[in-house]
Amino acid sequence: MRAIRSALGRASLLPALAMLAVVVALNAWLQPHFFGRPSLESNIATFAPTILVCVAQAVVVLNRQLDLSVGAGVSLINCALAALPADLPGGGWSACVIGLALALALGAVNGALVAFLELPSLIATFATGAVWFGLALALMPQPGGAIAPGLGDLYGADWIGLPVPLLIVAAAMAVWVALGRHRIGRWIVAVGSSPGAAYQAGVPVRWATFGAYLTAWVLVFLSALTISAQTLSGDARLGQTYTLTSVAAVVIGGVSLGGGRGSPWGALLGALVLGIIANVIYFAGIPSIWQEFFKGLVIMAALGFMVSGQRRRVAA
């Protein structure tokens, strides 16, 4: 247990925090009233789906696995929500239950393939991602359908004085903190840090990996729910960019793809950095044809900065 705690302690969030400070400062400089409540509220509403999918990826990566199907999963859940009949009894709430059940089923498939059939996670989830995307396209060949309107209203509302998107992200992080206090969360990290040692110590390695996927897919569901509440329709290509964004955010957040090192908080910071970079590029008035290029360059620089920093720390 001490080893695990020190592994958590070593998860330095400083580089990601520094990057966040820089991009926030740039954004605040370029965008008047960035710190005003309307701007903060709209930003958190926009960033929430990305943050949630990045934290989901971090949970799997901490277990020394990957999930390249999260983006297609977001699309599939979104299309399923949009394909539900408008007169569904229970409205938004039953839509949530169905979406969560679907997410858990998808996560269970990925978890079973990786944990019990021992398939390499990168290529196995790449394959399931193709299946999820195909299913989403079958449900929604063209963008369309409608999300229960109650979900959109709820997403834009305040509760106990705080915007709902912020509360959803906070709840997701609380789930991780609660898991970390329970042995399941520690098992997930312990297996990622050293599967052999964890096995020797009596950790149920397979169930820990399966649990990591299930936990991640609860977050994938929340990501799909929050993006659906904004678009209010179904689109099989909606989550396409999420998979790779989530991997980039995880690396920028200092979570090692080698497993066991880092924390979902880092992924949250990474997702914020990526989101705010997009803001900065928009508000800097860069011509639209240059935006993709600059975004790519900044992400490449951030990745290089993180990875070379990690190598120095390992060498030291």
Residues in touch with other proteins (CB under 8 A): 66, 113, 117-120, 122-124, 126-131, 133-138, 141, 236, 244, 247-248, 251, 257, 289-297, 299-300, 303-304, 307-308, 311
- Given a contact cutoff of 8 angstroms between Cβ atoms, the answer to whether 161 and 242 are in contact is no
Nearer to other proteins, 173 or 257 (CB): 257
CB of 45 to other proteins, least distance (A): 25
Nearer to other proteins, 12 or 39 (CB): 12
CB of 139 to other proteins, least distance (A): 8
CB of 147 to other proteins, least distance (A): 21
List residues bridging with 163 in a β-sheet.
158
Nearer to other proteins, 18 or 123 (CB): 123
CB of 41 to other proteins, least distance (A): 29
CB of 20 to other proteins, least distance (A): 19
**Tokens 């999300």 found at:** 147
CB of 247 to other proteins, least distance (A): 6
Query: For the CA atoms of the chain, what is the radius of gyration?
Result: 19
**Cα 254-249-210 angle, rounded to 5 deg:** 85
Nearer to other proteins, 84 or 255 (CB): 255
Nearer to other proteins, 75 or 279 (CB): 75
Nearer to other proteins, 3 or 300 (CB): 300
Nearer to other proteins, 47 or 133 (CB): 133
81 to 68, 85, 187, 286: CA distances (angstroms): 22, 9, 33, 36
* β-pair type (158-159, 162-163): antiparallel
CB of 60 to other proteins, least distance (A): 13
